[in-house]
Structures are given as structure tokens and as C-alpha cells.
Amino acid sequence: MTAVRTHRSAEEIGRTERGPRELPALGRTAPVPLPEVVTGTLPNGLTVIAARRPGVPLVETVLRIPAASPADSAEAGWTAGMELVAETMLTGTASRDRVGIDDELAGVGAELGVGVDPEWLQVGGSALASGLPVVLDVLADVLTGATHPDDEVFRERSRLAERIAVARAQPRTVAREALMRRRFGDHPIVSEMPTAAAVAGIAPERVRELHAGTVVPGGARLVLVGDIDPQAAIAEVTARLGGWSDDHPARRLTAPPMPSAGDLELVHRPGSVQSQIRLTAPGLDRTDERYTAFQLANLVFGGYFSSRWMENVREDKGYTYGAHSGQEFVPGGAVLGLDVDVASDVTAAALLETRYELGRMIAVPPTEQEVESARRYAIGSLLISLDSQSALAGTLSALDAVGLGVDWLRDRPQRLEAVTVEQVAEAAAELFAPARFTGVVVGDAEAIGSRLAALGGVSLP
């Protein structure tokens, strides 16, 4: 029997012509593999979005409940309380304790988790498709009857305070909080992490009050994706969650003000050997007609590894392991962010190169080759984001949160294909102009302040 060769010999390699060779042309973009999506709204106000995606016998669930603070400004107590609501929601009801919930979910190969941010309380997980009724039954029980037992609140309160202390010692956390304040002032959206002191002051009774007032169906959105019949799944949700009710809708987060252009703020972090540079400017939401061109312009600038900014500050200068630009979507719009971490002794130089690359997006518009590379990356990333049940569920939920549906996804590759180099150049010139940006630099002011002051455009403490 002759063995199958799986490699070339040294002689064959030696005969290979040296030098670069032209890559084969890319084929036609494949259509987006999207299933039919069925949407229904229950009498209690809960909207259900169900899609059949067979392949593996699982179902993904993503429930979003608006959970905004009633205050007009950032409130540490609200954020701390909602964190504890999320941490203890699955620890007991009148009919199930923590172990009972875990055992019942494990019996159908399921897991659930709860998270919260200033805009949403989210409950998500996966299960065997045949176990969906069990998951919905447990979900209904914790939504309507979570008891948040005193001992569980005390335990999670201590754990959360420890995690916050660890997180606040990290420079990236300091930079994130400073950037959010620079962007949005004291709007509630900046309260992404409570203080340890605020957490310590939350009593179990307050956690239960917050659950009762916030975890309501009016305005909530449930996405189901998997090996399911969408109509039957919606009927199952109606049967299990139809009794979830309240006398008021969930509270949506108000739109924050967009960041205004201005100097960067230097945030002193004594003894730091690194600096975190964070720039920001208003972005574009997905409904803006310029959004697709802007997406490609962002990729060219700093949105992926082959970007101009990465080539400059990593590959050429060696200032950093990575630099990234991208958008965050917020109520009413979006913000563009530029993130890079560098050593203290090259902070001013890295900021100078960042400003240079921003200006170069205007002076030297993206080329046809740059735009085409970004286009292929964007289309490929889109397809990957829809490849699995969990990815599709997350994408549908994120789009639904801003009022968009599956049709926006279905037409996306065609819109990416249709964008011209000229449109990308126009978006780059408009949205990457250096004068649009503000931001923060976090680092040791004694080590980096004088050079930043000489560079200009940075407010020192």
C-alpha cells in the first residue's frame, strides 16, 4: 500500500519560484444565511423574537429588560443595588433554592446567567431545545418570585465589593471611568461600576424593592434562536411568561449628550509606568446613510490589525501591542473611541502619531486597496457574527435593542459591496478630523505631563 504524501520534499521546495505571487481573485460574496424570524408581543408587553437555526439540538435565550435609573444623573446606590439584583436573582424563589434552580437547569443541559449595565438587565443562556419549557418555567419563577435571600445578598455583597476593589486597581478601569465622564458628564450611563462603599450600604430589602420595581415585562425583549419551531416557541413563552405582569412599563435610559470636542484631560495615576490614551468623538448610528462608509473608514484607520494606526504605532514604532478604534452604541446615537496603552516614556510620541494618523485620513484618503481589504474584512466578520446559534441570538438582540430587525442584516453585504472609495474618503474626512475629538490620558503626571504640555491640547491636573 502506497502512503499518501502530505508534504513537499526539500528538492521540490527548492524548485519553487521565489517572491510574491498574485493571490486568486475573491469569489462572489455568499448570501447571509439568515432564518425566518417570527415576532410576537404578549398582552403583558413582553416582545418575543424567535428564529429557527437547526444544526445542533440547542436553543439560545437572551432576555433584555430596560433597567435605567430614575435619576437624571449618575447614582452610585442605584448601580450597586442593580448589581446585587443581578448577582442574586438565581439564588432562590419561594419554590426553589439555589441548588434546586441549578439542578433543574442542569437536567435539561441548560445554564442561565444574569448581567446588568446602566441600560439593561440581561438574562441569557442555552439549553437543549427539548428543555425550553423547563428553562422558561424557571425563568418565569425567578422573574416573578425571586426572593433574594438575606444570606445570599450578604455573601454576594462581600464578593462584589472585593471584585470592585480589584477592578479599580487596574489602569484600564480608571481610564474607562475617566473617559465615560469626559464623554457624558454625570449622565446615568457613566455608572457602569458602583463603589465598594455603595455596595456595602445595600440591604436585602432594597434589593427586593429594586427587583419588584425594575424587573417588569413592559418593554422587555426575549430572543430565542435554535432548533425550534418559532410559532410553537412563542406559544410556549406565552404559556409560561404570560402571568408575568406589573402596573408600569420598564424604564428606558434617556439619550446622553454627545461628547464635545476639546482638550484631552490628563488623569494623574501616581507611579504608573504605562499610560492609557483614550480619544472619543461622536459616531454614527446604524440608520445613518453614511454608516456603511464610516464603518470601512474606521477599519482603515484603526478597526482591525491591518489598519493604518496599528501599522504606525505597533509595527513601525513599537510603542504598543495593540491600538484599536471602534464604536459604542448608546441611546440616541453612537460614540467613536480610540484606545491605546503605551509606556510612559513614549506617551507624548504615541499621542502625536495618533493625531498624525487622524489627519492623514483627510490628507491621504483611503486607497482603493485599503477600502477593498476593509470591505472583505467587514463582510467576513458579519458572516462570523451569524455563524452559530449564540452569535445570531446576540446579534439579533443587540440590533433589536436599537430598533433594527433581521432585514438590516439581510441587506448588509450588498450595502458593504456598494460603498465607493469616494464615499469612504468623504466619511473619513468628516468623522476622523482631529478637531472633533476629546478624551483622556491616564498616567503618572510627573513622568508624562511636561511633554504632553509641550505637545499641546492636553489639560494638566
What is the pLDDT at residue 8?
Answer: 67
Partners of 338 in the β-ladder: 279, 325
**Element of type H or E holding 47:** strand 47-52
Fold observed for domain 37-242: Cytochrome Bc1 Complex; Chain A, domain 1 (3.30.830)
What is the pLDDT at residue 20?
Answer: 62
DSSP letter for each residue of 50-119? EEE--SSSEEEEEEEEEB--SSSS--HHHHHHHHHHHHHGGGBBSS-BHHHHHHHHHTTT-EEEEEE-SS
- Specify burial of residue 166 (Cβ count, 10 A radius: 0-12, 13-18, 19+): exposed
Does 264-459 match 37-242 at the fold level?
A: yes
Angle in degrees, 0-180, between the axes of helices 76-88 and 204-214, rounded to the nearest 10: 90
Q: What are phi and psi for residue 118, nearest 5 degrees?
A: -60, -15
| Assigned C-alpha cell, 120 | 439593561
- DSSP SS3 for 224: strand
Evaluate whether 395 touches 384 at the Cβ level (below 8 Å): no
User: Taking the C-alpha atoms of 229, 399, 180 and 341 in order, what is their torsion angle to the nearest 10 degrees?
Assistant: 90
Evaluate whether 42 touches 241 at the Cβ level (below 8 Å): yes
- DSSP SS3 for 18: coil
The residue type of 220 is A
Domain positions in the chain: 37-242, 264-459
Please state whether 160 falls in left (phi above 0), alpha (psi between -120 and 50) or beta.
alpha
Evaluate whether 127 touches 58 at the Cβ level (below 8 Å): yes
Going residue by residue through the chain (461 aa), what tens digit of pLDDT does each one get?
455 555 667 676 677 777 666 656 666 666 677 898 999 999 999 999 999 999 899 999 999 999 999 987 677 799 999 999 999 999 999 999 999 999 999 999 999 999 999 999 999 999 999 999 999 999 999 999 999 999 999 999 999 999 999 999 999 999 999 999 999 999 999 999 999 999 999 999 999 999 999 999 999 999 999 999 999 999 999 999 999 999 899 999 999 999 999 999 999 999 999 999 999 999 999 999 999 999 999 999 999 999 999 999 999 999 999 999 999 999 999 999 999 999 999 999 999 999 999 999 999 999 999 999 999 999 999 988 888 999 999 999 999 999 999 989 988 999 999 999 999 999 999 999 999 999 999 999 999 999 999 999 999 99
CA–CA distance, 346 with 325 (Å, rounded to integer)? 20
Q: Name the H helices within 123-260.
A: 132-145, 150-168, 171-184, 196-200, 204-214, 230-241
What is the pLDDT at residue 371?
Answer: 97
DSSP category for residue 303: I
Domain 264-459 has CATH 3.30.830.10: yes
DSSP letter for each residue of 26-38? P-PPPPP----EE
